[in-house]
Amino acid sequence: MLLRSRVALITAAIVAVAIAVISTVTYLSTEHSLRAQLDETLLGGWPPPGARPPDQPKPGPADLCRPGPPGRPLQRFVEGIQLLKADGTVCSPPGVDSVVLEPADRTARVVTLRDGYTQSGKPVRVLLGPLGDGNVLAISRSLAEVDSTLAGLRTILIAVSVLGALLAAAAGLLLTRRTLRPMARLTGAAEEIARTHDLDLPVTVSGRDEVGRLGRAFAAMTGALADSRRRQRALVTDAAHELRTPLTSLRTNIDLLARSERTGRALADRGRLLDRLQVQAGELGDLVTELVVLARDEHEFDHAEVAMGTVVRHAVRRAASRARNHTFAVDSAEWTVSGDEGALERMVLNLLDNALKFSPAGSVVTVRSAPGLVSVADEGPGIAPADRAPAFDRFWRSPEARSLPGSGLGLAIVADVAAAHGGYACFEDPPSGRGALAVVRLPTEGSWADGVIPGVSAKCRNER
Ligand code: ADP
Q: Measured in angstroms, how far is the CA atom of residue 397 from the centroid of ligand 1?
A: 6
How do the domains of the chain map onto residue ranges?
Answer: 1-45+77-179, 198-295, 299-463
Could you tell me the distance, in angstroms and rounded to a whole number, from the CA of residue 391 to the centre of ligand 1? 6
State whether the beta carbon of 378 lies less than 6 angstroms from ligand 1.
yes
Ligand 1 atom closest to the CA of 397, numbered from 1? 14
Determine if ligand 1 sits within 6 Å of the CB of residue 396. Answer: yes
Instruction: State the pLDDT at residue 41.
Output: 86
Distance CA 288, CA 306 (A): 27
Q: Supply the pLDDT for residue 61.
A: 60
- Positive or negative CA dihedral for 208, 212, 218, 219? negative
The dihedral built from the CA positions of residue 26, 29, 31 and 33, taken in this order, carries a sign that is negative
In short, whether 366's Cβ falls inside 6 Å of ligand 1 is no
Q: What pLDDT is recorded for position 391? A: 94
Radius of gyration of the chain (CA): 52
* Ligand 1 pocket: which of 294, 354, 364, 414 to mutate (most atoms within 8 A of CB): 354
Any ligand 1 atom below 6 A from CB of 436: yes
Kindly report the CA angle at 92 between 88 and 94, in degrees rounded to 5? 140
Q: Which pLDDT does position 464 carry in this prediction?
A: 43
Measured distance CA(38)–CA(214) in Å, rounded: 63
For residues 40-63, give the mean pLDDT: 62
Look at ligand 1, atom 27, and give the residue with the nearest C-alpha: 383
pLDDT band at 415 (very low <50, low <70, confident <90, very high): very high
Answer yes or no: is the C-beta of 406 below 6 A from any ligand 1 atom.
yes
Give the model's pLDDT for residue 191.
93
The domain at 299-463 falls in which architecture?
2-Layer Sandwich (3.30)
Over 90: is that where the pLDDT of 362 sits? yes
Nearby residues of 127 by Cβ (< 8 Å), 6 or more positions away: 42, 43, 46, 111, 112, 113, 138, 139, 140
The protein residue with its alpha carbon nearest to ligand 1, atom 20, reads 354
CA–centroid distance, residue 427 to ligand 1 (Å): 11
pTM of this structure: 0.57
